[in-house]
Amino acid sequence: MSKKERSRQSAIWGLKCPACRQGNLFKPVNKFLDLFEMHDNCPNCEQKYEIEIGFYWGAMYVAYALSSAVAMGSTLLFMFVFDLSMMTSFVLMFLLVMLLSPSIFRLARSIWLHAFVNKKE
């Protein structure tokens, strides 16, 4: 494995193209709404990112699972480790999930795309 090659997990977490593992999935961020803008194709290898119309609907299920894990984990952490009240824990969990929602959105799309596109040899 050459020094430049990324593992699949590294490409998923790094939001990189599943085919070449080098190009970015998302456009550069200049303002808040740019967090949700994806390239149409990989800037490096031209892999098409939207395989078919509605392709990313399935990524909503991945985002739901990720946000549920964050919500449940943080609530339990706040309640049982930090010994906060249930209401305080829920408020903090809600704020945490809202704060992480752009990152969860991006990660869910990366996971979904990597599930369907293999690395080019």
Each residue's pLDDT tens digit, 82-115: 999 999 999 999 999 999 999 999 999 999 999 9
pLDDT value, residue 93 = 97
Does the pLDDT at position 3 exceed 60?
no
**Is 116 a member of any domain?**
no
Name residues whose C-beta falls within 8 Å of residue 55's C-beta, 6 or more positions apart in sequence.
Answer: 112, 116
pLDDT digits (tens, 9 = 90+) for 39-85: 999 999 999 999 999 999 999 999 999 999 999 999 999 999 999 99
Q: Is 61 helix (H, G, I), strand (E, B) or coil?
A: helix
pLDDT value, residue 76 = 96
Which amino acid is present at 10? S
**Is 43 a member of any domain?**
yes
Largest Cα–Cα distance in the chain?
A: 53
pLDDT value, residue 33 = 84
**Is 78 a member of any domain?**
yes
**Is 119 a member of any domain?**
no
Name which residue leads in pLDDT, 8 or 120. 8
Query: What percentage of residues in the chain have a pLDDT greater than 90?
Result: 87
**Is 120 a member of any domain?**
no
CB 35 within 8 A of CB 106: yes
Q: What is the domain count for the chain?
A: 1
The first and second tokens of residue 88, run together, are 């305080």
* pTM of the complete model: 0.88
**Is 75 a member of any domain?**
yes
Does the pLDDT at position 2 exceed 70?
no
Short-list 75, 74, 67, 79, CA closest to 105: 67
Residue 55 CA to residue 77 CA, distance in Å, equals 35
**Is 106 a member of any domain?**
yes
**Is 68 a member of any domain?**
yes
pLDDT value, residue 4 = 64
Structural domain of 68:
8-111
